[in-house]
Structure 1
Amino acid sequence: MCLAKIEKLKNYIGHAIRQVDLIRRRVIQGEKIPHNDKIFSIFEPHTEWISKGKAGVPQELGLRVCILEDQYGFILHHHVMEKQTDDKVAVAMVDAARYKFPNLRRCSFDKGFYSPANKKELRNKLDVLVLPKKGKLNKIEREEETAEIFVQSKRKHSAVESAINGLENHGLDRCPDHGPLGFKRYVSLAVLARNFQIIGHHIQQKELKRTQRRKAA
């Protein structure tokens, strides 16, 4: 027990030396510190700086979580993103979801997941791919993105935002577990809780319709 405390203390001393060095480089030497050299939490070193680009909350500290939701509100797959951006996980998300759900033939993403390579590869895996392009569209791309199925799918992205809010309400707003493995475990439990809630909601709706039919009879 004593040795464990000593190792923990050594770890914090190392962090202190590192932070003093960063301050010296930034404040005294006027150096711009590379992003990869920065530590945002000495207690959870895996913590990342997340630029959301949204009004009110432009940045957050934590780890990104990507989810894939079906048309009924169930989360089919999730992935904790460590030093990854959306465009790096699009293909992997579809592959993992299709491994568990082979009938998955249609998927819709937002612009953050776009890259020419992603679009090319996902078109070979899906019957219908909705992947808006970043930047200026040519004539063919404009026709593709104004098609009815494309527009309808994009409008459903707000449902995914609802699922993300649901996950936050089920514990993901703040993770009490420690370390990357603890975070991933906590995410999985939050996803499970969210799916249980969706099951309960569907059962309640069926009971409500059954009650309404009995009253109308």
Structure 2
Amino acid sequence: MREKRTIQPSIFEIYPEHDIGRELKAMSKLLDAHPDLLDWVAADIKDRQPKATGRKGLSVDTVLRCAILKQYRQLSYEELVFCLMDSSAYQAFARLCGTWVPKKSALQRCISAISAVTWEQINLQLLEDARQDKIENSKMLRIDSTVTESTIHDPTDGRLLWDSVRVLIRLMEAAQDLPGAPELTWQNHQRVAKKRMRAIIYTRGADKKARLYRDLIKVTRNSLCYVEQADLALRCSGIDSGYAEWSAQVAHYQPLIEKVIEQAERRVFQGEKVPANEKIVSLFEEHTDIIVKGRRDIQYGHKLNLSTGRSGLILDVVVEKGNPADSAQFLPMLERHIEHFGVAPRQMAADGGYASTDNLQAAKALQVKDVVFHKKRGLKVEDMAQSPWVYRKLRNFRAGIEAGISCLKRAYGLSRCTWKGWAHFEAYVWSSVVAHNLALFGRLKST
């Protein structure tokens, strides 16, 4: 087990007289005030830390600070390594000494192990500090939703079938390379699959496209049969080395590929409009949802429900599965706020999509004095707020969350998640929120 700290804060840590330098210094002080944060991080990364070589190695403190630095400056792992080598300010913030800098593989292995639950706990601790410093009292609450996209390409049926063939051929090549594997009979259909996929993109006419889809589905099914036959042959041969891992990949991808074939046949040959909740849009990010907000373009990722206070700090965020209506998430967000802060907000503002008579009455029953929706949706002003003046003030207050969401997307990477898998998607969102809150809290505290 690694030490939580390898380097103590030093009076000789120098940050440049620049906005970023001052922010890093303030953020570092906030982290130093809570060494208990490291216990939560240590529990996540205990099995991921690199083996120590001499006295060098990554401390838990350094892992957390590098993770925050990565999201704060929106760096790739390769860029993070370069910045840690090049910048004395970044080295001071990350608590790295001398010229030694960890490799990007070590950083990725440790940072990706920090869970969404840990990031949420860190955020709650920051909010408690903000409450004690009278920066955020959580008595005013505003709620809105947005979408963070997954790292997937345009999910047309043709491209998904082409992805399926690529994955299946990769599995066949891996099976053939297993030690002691028997000779397997199969053909590589990647070339013809790619041709059919590209032809589908540039072909016009339903009949012509249907013929191309028939060929593409045929080679996909043939490739799937090769993998099934290879699985049977490897199982009968009794080889042990590598088979379990290979078989696990087959078990993961096979039902997804079968679903891709099924939805293509339903749409192309049977003329069905496949419901969004029955579709798969990626073999590699299968958790991805199809999101349509209002009449805007279709987005592929996950809907987020966010709440902020008067300070602009993000009080809470929920990564939703599916595409639930905003109105159905109003009460859960309010209940989470009460659970976290122990009391209902005095005033509350939300986007028009959250508006309903039931939501208004339920919020009032929970002792929220004023509940204002951006659009009235048949509700009366006097039912929502004490006066038209209070209604206008709270409606204007709600607009501030739009700026917060824009900042999260532009400066903290929340427009598109670059990490893979559902668990990492949640962790990515929460790490962006923590980096945003830490920087904003540092600015607010120094003013």
Q: TM tier, shorter chain?
A: 0.7 to 0.9
Q: Check whether the contact 1:65–1:79 (CA below 8 A) recurs between aligned residues.
A: yes
Q: Check whether the contact 2:314–2:437 (CA below 8 A) recurs between aligned residues.
A: yes
Q: How big is the shift at 1:101?
A: 2.2
Residue aligned with 1:8, SS = helix
Q: Distance in 2 between matches of 1:128 and 1:166?
A: 27
Q: Using the TM superposition, name which of 95-104 and 30-39 deviates more.
A: 95-104
Match of 2:422 among 166, 180, 186: 180
1:149 equivalent in structure 2:
390
Match of 1:60 among 288, 295, 299: 299
Q: Check whether the contact 1:144–1:150 (CA below 8 A) recurs between aligned residues.
A: no
Matched, 1:80 2:319: yes
Unaligned runs of 5+ in 2: 1-241
Q: How big is the shift at 1:133?
A: 5.5
Q: Distance in 2 between matches of 1:142 and 1:105?
A: 17
Q: Distance in 2 between matches of 1:12 and 1:91?
A: 37
Judged with a 3 Å threshold, the aligned counterparts in structure 2 of structure 1 residues 180 and 143 are, in CA distance, closer, same or farther, namely same
1:94 equivalent in structure 2:
334
Q: How big is the shift at 1:61?
A: 0.9
Q: Using the TM superposition, name which of 95-104 and 80-89 deviates more.
A: 95-104
Q: Distance in 1 between matches of 2:443 and 2:297?
A: 33
Higher relative contact order (CA 8 A, sep 6+): 2
Q: Using the TM superposition, name which of 144-153 and 87-96 deviates more.
A: 144-153
Give TM-score, length-normalised by structure 1. Answer: 0.82
Q: Which amino acid aligns with 1:28?
A: F
Q: How big is the shift at 1:144?
A: 5.0
Q: Check whether the contact 2:303–2:320 (CA below 8 A) recurs between aligned residues.
A: yes
Q: How big is the shift at 1:16?
A: 2.1
Unaligned runs of 5+ in 1: 207-217
Q: Distance in 2 between matches of 1:4 and 1:176?
A: 25
Q: Distance in 2 between matches of 1:174 and 1:20?
A: 28
1:22 equivalent in structure 2:
263
Give TM-score, length-normalised by structure 2. Answer: 0.42
Q: How big is the shift at 1:102?
A: 3.5
Q: Check whether the contact 1:119–1:131 (CA below 8 A) recurs between aligned residues.
A: no
Match of 1:36 among 267, 277, 280: 277
Q: Distance in 1 between matches of 2:257 and 2:441?
A: 48
Count residues with an aligned counterpart: 200
Q: How big is the shift at 1:180?
A: 2.1
2:289 equivalent in structure 1:
48
Q: How big is the shift at 1:171?
A: 2.6
Q: How big is the shift at 1:112?
A: 0.9
Identical amino acids, percent of aligned pairs: 26
How far does the alpha carbon of each residue in 1:46-100 deviate from its partner, in whole angstroms, 9 at most, with x for none? Answer: 211111336xx62211111111100011111111111222112211111211222
Q: How big is the shift at 1:23?
A: 1.4
How far does the alpha carbon of each residue in 1:172-192 deviate from its partner, in whole angstroms, 9 at most, with x for none? Answer: 222233322221112111111
Mapping for residues 99-110 of structure 1, pairs under 5 Å: 99-103=339-343, 104-110=345-351
Q: Using the TM superposition, name which of 33-42 and 8-17 deviates more.
A: 8-17
